[in-house]
Amino acid sequence: MKPAPIKVLTYNIHKGFSAANLSFALHDIRSRIEETQADLVFLQEIQGLHLKRQDRVRDWPQASQFEYIAARLWPHHAYGKNAIYKSGHHGNAILSRYPFQSWENLNVSRYRRASRSILHGIVRMPPDGAPLHTLCIHFDFMGGDRRKQIQTLVARIDSHIPPDEPLIIAGDFNDWQGRIRDGVGKALGLREVFVTLRGRPARTFPAWLPTLPLDRIYFRGLNAARCHRLKDRPDPRFADHRLSDHLALYAEFRLG
């Protein structure tokens, strides 16, 4: 009997707002994420606290956004607070069905209000608690800053992740040119799931007319089984391009 697949989702949720902040979409975003029944959810631009919006935005949750999304399906979560300002903070989060052995957030933001980080969690997978390394990424749009952040990622993998332990790296890389895949990926033995299974990365931005492959799912020590980009549903009220400025990516893996 084959072990159950590891179901993964990565999503830049734009702090729970649609593109250009036209509407608050967090409740529909949560429903959309729950539909996937993912075991691991990698979230970028997730609001930990915003004192002004919680008073002004209708239906703003009382809990943090990552706790609100996690409440019904994911008992374990890690949050990296990266962008900090007077009214609150936002960053990256990993939601998991399985417990974390440990987690650490590396803030690689150049500016205080920017959310750029590497959130590294070690998840204990069933049935025997074997470690799975999960890294949630949000890198800079500017090439020079992104290159430095990539160097930090390489150093983290080299120093903290044994070559025989599986890992998944997912998030918003802002790397539309594929330099991580073509350079660092090959050096570290990383593969990108859409390139592996479909021959090219998935286009995820902007959500209403996706042309840039900014979001990626890299892996090592696992077998890629399935992948797809979340597409619009039949009901136009809940179309994916109305939820965030990015589209979400889904993948399934099996332990090798």
Model pTM above 0.85: yes
Q: CA-based Rg of the chain, rounded to a whole angstrom?
A: 17
pLDDT value for 39: 98
Distance CA 67, CA 75 (A): 9
Distance CA 225, CA 217 (A): 13
Contacts 24+ apart (CB under 8 A), 51-55: 51/87, 51/88, 52/87, 52/88, 53/87, 53/88
Q: Does 215 reside within a domain?
A: yes
For 20, the 3-state DSSP assignment is: helix
Q: What is the CATH number of the domain that holds 246?
A: 3.60.10.10
Q: Does 78 reside within a domain?
A: yes
Distance CA 78, CA 93 (A): 5
Q: Does 11 reside within a domain?
A: yes
Which of 112, 70, 73 lies closest to 91 in space, CA to CA?
112
Q: Does 55 reside within a domain?
A: yes
> Strand order of the sheet with strand 76-85?
76-85, 88-96, 40-50, 6-12, 249-255, 222-229
Distance CA 84, CA 71 (A): 24
pLDDT value for 231: 79
Query: How many C-beta neighbours within 10 Å does residue 93 have?
Result: 29
Domain hosting 123: range is 6-255
pLDDT value for 147: 85
Q: How many domains does the chain have?
A: 1
Q: Does 196 reside within a domain?
A: yes
Distance CA 65, CA 196 (A): 32
Q: Does 1 reside within a domain?
A: no
Q: Does 15 reside within a domain?
A: yes
Q: Does 217 reside within a domain?
A: yes
Which of 256, 177, 172 lies closest to 218 in space, CA to CA?
172
**pLDDT mean for each 10 residues of the chain (256 residues):** 89 92 92 96 95 91 96 97 88 97 90 80 95 95 82 92 96 84 76 96 94 96 96 67 93 92
